[in-house]
Structure 1
């Protein structure tokens, strides 16, 4: 008898290949994935109850010393268990006091996460001050660049006409529309929207209305639907909306950004903005944590390492760290030298739950993602 350790990427597939009983495959799959959940500010009573309930089913709750004697009224903890454990606890804690009923609902959401096909969103800028010169194109070059992106493997092409780099200043809606109009008209006339989906990187209702009437399907709003008019026009066209988080605005977002707890702060933000979107009738939502938009390097790394958390809302998550300055803070590099760092961030983000990758280098991302998918297809 010999053995070797394996990594299971698709539990149902590997148990099917093993010729397990059909009824047992689902049960085995739920026992195969381990979850760790950080819980803040639990009432000590909740901690003691949850600790005992977790231990009784083979899970665990890590808590500070002194919890059993209620040394502190509120404590943090880390719940460790499989999908099966979380499902059991999501039922058991519904009848418990000290806020555990709300935790039970969260546990259920954390393990009911759908997987989505990875999609590549290529970036095409119609403004001269975008931070990466390689993404800038005028209407004359647009057709060839769009066709190249489609050939390289883009599923979505994101068009923008206003820079959102740190320190940039907003422009008038009419100026933004003038910048983007010719490219949008070219897309419409050539029916490129029948080959890939087009997204508008804008928070201008005037611009958004124009492009959605020209075959665009996605609104990429860096302000996270702060403007009700954007909500109204997006709903009118039944567009998909990307809600991004940004602290302050591009002119000052990198001026000493601070958070009480970045994970919980963004979670609360998304909860609020999702409710707002849905109140306007917007159903198709994507979440963007906004790497580099009002975040320090540590904030960015925390979000990247814990991106899977945001899937509990039930929506797709997009990652957009293409050639951003956080790479230079890790390894000294110019914008032109940041493709390897970009690929590292984006591939890891896919492993952590992101299913849309916004990037400047479509061809390189297509190859890297296909290789990753091939590796993960083997169990």
Structure 2
């Protein structure tokens, strides 16, 4: 299984790690900890050295109940970082975490390589058309509603079946637009309560039926720290456990705050020839 990323074929016969770069003051774990371009560059260098294939930069916090910021504010936050990272790391495979087509277009024009959309086009009717024009890989996540109201939208007849049906429709829509390279993200923590997140993880292997790379984004989320009665800061060990489960269930990408530990998960589980 491959995607074409900036003219390079990325092979998922071994899972890959995507390092998270939050350019927000209010993300649930590390929002606001880095504020200068040099800090973003240094953290990116660290994640690349530790083995990240992709860096996922986002300037709009999608944690439950996050403040809705304007498109202009999102662009003001993210464009200087994109320019700095592409200049410092010309070969970086930079993913942009945004649901807005204008942000996607301007970031790709500055050298970004992937768009990671929490809404799979549902929050911007121009997004899929824009991705098709840009011809970059597109990560489509499952979510209902918006970050502001998604917690209340978690009623399902059949959780995994409903999400698989959602993706069958989104994949068909993306293909109709002419998008070639797709990645699926089941959306842990989005429009799902804790027990639903664990149910989704339990059945993650069913997403192999879509014949697309699957991304697991569990890092330090509430299904870990609330279950363990701890905090996001103390959730690394739990993250490692569930990242390992994700890999054994067929995940192709781990989206994480802690790259070194995730890379170790990939290396160790790869020895099992699962």
Quick check: TM above 0.5?
A: yes
1:318 aligns with 2:221: no
Match of 1:257 among 154, 157, 165: 154
Provide the C-alpha distance between the structure 2 equivalents of 1:290 and 1:310, rounded to a whole number of angstroms. Answer: 12
Corresponding residue for residue 147 of structure 1: 45
Greater RCO, CA 8 A, separation 6+:
2
Match of 2:169 among 258, 272, 279: 272
Provide the C-alpha distance between the structure 2 equivalents of 1:276 and 1:116, rounded to a whole number of angstroms. Answer: 27
TM-score by length of 1: 0.66
Give CA-to-partner distance per residue, 1:28-58, whole Å, 9 cap, x none.
xxxxxxxxxxxxxxxxxxxxxxxxxxxxxxx
- TM-aligned CA deviation for residue 371 of structure 1: 2.1
Corresponding residue for residue 207 of structure 1: 103
Provide the C-alpha distance between the structure 2 equivalents of 1:193 and 1:170, rounded to a whole number of angstroms. Answer: 32
Q: Measured at CA, do residues 170 and 270 of structure 1 come closer, stay the same or move farther in structure 2, by a change above 3 Å?
A: same
- TM-aligned CA deviation for residue 225 of structure 1: 1.5
TM-score by length of 2: 0.91
Match of 1:302 among 199, 207, 227: 199
Corresponding residue for residue 240 of structure 1: 137
Provide the C-alpha distance between the structure 2 equivalents of 1:369 and 1:246, rounded to a whole number of angstroms. Answer: 27
- TM-aligned CA deviation for residue 170 of structure 1: 2.1
User: 5 Å matches for 1:1-379?
Assistant: 116-133=13-30, 136-138=33-35, 139-190=37-88, 192-194=89-91, 196-226=92-122, 227-255=124-152, 257-374=154-271, 376-377=272-273
Corresponding residue for residue 4 of structure 2: none
Provide the C-alpha distance between the structure 1 equivalents of 2:105 and 2:155, rounded to a whole number of angstroms. Answer: 34
Corresponding residue for residue 7 of structure 2: none
- TM-aligned CA deviation for residue 281 of structure 1: 0.6
Q: Measured at CA, do residues 205 and 256 of structure 1 come closer, stay the same or move farther in structure 2, by a change above 3 Å?
A: closer
Provide the C-alpha distance between the structure 1 equivalents of 2:118 and 2:263, rounded to a whole number of angstroms. Answer: 25
Give CA-to-partner distance per residue, 1:350-378, whole Å, 9 cap, x none.
1101010000001121123212223x15x
**In the alignment, is the contact (CA less than 8 A) between 1:128 and 1:136 conserved in 2?**
yes
- Aligned residue-pair number: 262
Provide the C-alpha distance between the structure 2 equivalents of 1:168 and 1:298, rounded to a whole number of angstroms. Answer: 22
User: SS at the partner of 1:316?
Assistant: coil
- TM-aligned CA deviation for residue 125 of structure 1: 0.9
- TM-aligned CA deviation for residue 252 of structure 1: 1.4
**In the alignment, is the contact (CA less than 8 A) between 1:126 and 1:136 conserved in 2?**
no
User: SS at the partner of 2:56?
Assistant: strand
Instruction: Give the alignment's Cα RMSD to 1 decimal.
Output: 1.7
Relative to its length, the structure with more helix (as a share) is 1
User: SS at the partner of 1:258?
Assistant: coil
Unaligned runs of 5+ in 1: 1-113
Provide the C-alpha distance between the structure 2 equivalents of 1:234 and 1:279, rounded to a whole number of angstroms. Answer: 12
**In the alignment, is the contact (CA less than 8 A) between 1:193 and 1:216 conserved in 2?**
no
Provide the C-alpha distance between the structure 1 equivalents of 2:132 and 2:12, rounded to a whole number of angstroms. Answer: 25
- TM-aligned CA deviation for residue 115 of structure 1: 6.5
- TM-aligned CA deviation for residue 197 of structure 1: 1.1
